[in-house]
Structure 1
């Protein structure tokens, strides 16, 4: 029985350390990649709404999101999911929405513009 308790403590420590490392990793990515300076606040709010709530993202903001880059985009999403305010959100659903938003923006930016 004692070995079961030790095992439980080890699992809890592993999970706790893993969560702390994930937070540090996302913050480090954001800092090292200068992510916070690459997108204007109005577009940040549009992207946030399209991922964490119900809304869409404009073509202009899709352009800013693609310039932000996928690494920064995913680091911001994961860091937001770590915030206790968003504890009720499903990480799987939210990450799927973030990938869908990214792919939609990427397709929009990569598609040729119609000639005038």
Structure 2
């Protein structure tokens, strides 16, 4: 039930775009780069579950995360951290997990076994 609540929170957060809570800088990056159109909702939820909780990410979502790019990914994570729902989380830990997730996806996509 707790993971269902987390998915619901992330879904609401993603759909509302955090307009009220977001800094202008992150919003500007997200808007200029069309970040929210570069990754599907299922994959953003999958990636955010890994970053904000625990789990694994599918190859399909890793591919979408790579297409999203580090700039968009970082801006979306930072905007999410601005939401009061996540005030108790350590931003440095979340950002580190975010970078690790991107790097793991890059390694997975670049590995010879992924193209076989």
TM-score under structure 2 normalisation?
0.77
**4+ residue stretches of structure 1 with deviation over 4 A?**
none
In structure 2, the gaps of 5 or more residues are 1-21
- CA RMSD for the aligned pairs? 1.5
Cα distance in structure 2, aligned partners of 1:45 and 1:65: 11
In structure 1, the gaps of 5 or more residues are 1-21
Larger RCO, structures 1/2 (Cα 8 Å, 6+ apart)? 2
Q: Counterpart of 1:76? A: 76
State the 1:113 CA deviation.
3.1
TM-score under structure 1 normalisation?
0.77
Cα distance in structure 1, aligned partners of 2:75 and 2:102: 13
Q: Counterpart of 1:31? A: 31
The answer to which structure has the higher helix fraction is 1
